[in-house]
Amino acid sequence: MIPISGLELMPIVRAALERGQTVRMTAHGGSMLPFIYDGETVELVPPRPSWRLGDIVLAQSAAERYVLHRIVKIAGESAFLRGDSQNYYEGPFPPQAILGRAVTAAGQGRLRRLDRGVWHWAGLLWLHSGWLGFYLLQLVLGLRRLGRAIPRRWSSSKKSLPAKPCLKS
């Protein structure tokens, strides 16, 4: 694998999304915790013609910086974005600065739909939680660490499943 800098990669990503293609990228950083973790694969599709609050979008700021954040406010033709673990928002971002929209995140053996269903509604709830979101984040991260710390032999299940499915003819 050859590492490519964001400045070299983003023109390729932009061109692919403008052609209507789907792009998969690795997310870096912790600004979208607990919905997107560092190192997870995010699937991007072209942005919607009209934005929705709660959509997670890839945007380019004026300083050639790229962020994958949630739309928290729409003012006319512009959008304001915020990372889920941040308490401030950035913007305004004009329509041409929004490159794509995240639809899935995959990591640690799980795939999550971000644009609809449970994870979308959880994101909207998170969006409107305000300052309480910081405390919810600490709770989620604590539970996640606790889940990793508990050995499998202490799990509540007494029966173990076979490693491979048994097929009888």
Which tens digit of pLDDT belongs to each residue from 94-146?
A: 999 999 999 999 988 889 999 988 888 888 888 887 767 667 767 777 777 77
- Rounded to a whole number of angstroms, the distance between the first and last alpha carbons of the chain is 43
Mean pLDDT of 28-41: 89
As a whole number of Å, the CA-based R_g of the chain is 19
User: In which band, very low, low, confident or very high, does the pLDDT at 55 lie, cut at 50, 70 and 90?
Assistant: very high
Strands, E, within the chain: which ranges?
A: 23-26, 41-45, 56-60, 66-75, 78-82, 90-93, 98-107, 110-113
Q: Which domains does the chain have, with CATH numbers?
A: 6-145 (2.10.109.10)
Higher pLDDT, 106 or 3: 106
What pLDDT shows up at residue 21?
95
What pLDDT shows up at residue 149?
62
Query: Which DSSP category does 32 fall into?
Result: T
Q: Taking Cα atoms as reference points, which of 38, 52, 29 lies closest to residue 114?
A: 52
CA separation for the pair 66, 51 (Å, rounded): 18
What pLDDT shows up at residue 42?
95
Query: Does 158 score more than 50 pLDDT?
Result: no
Higher pLDDT, 52 or 168: 52
pTM of the model: 0.76
CA separation for the pair 118, 111 (Å, rounded): 12
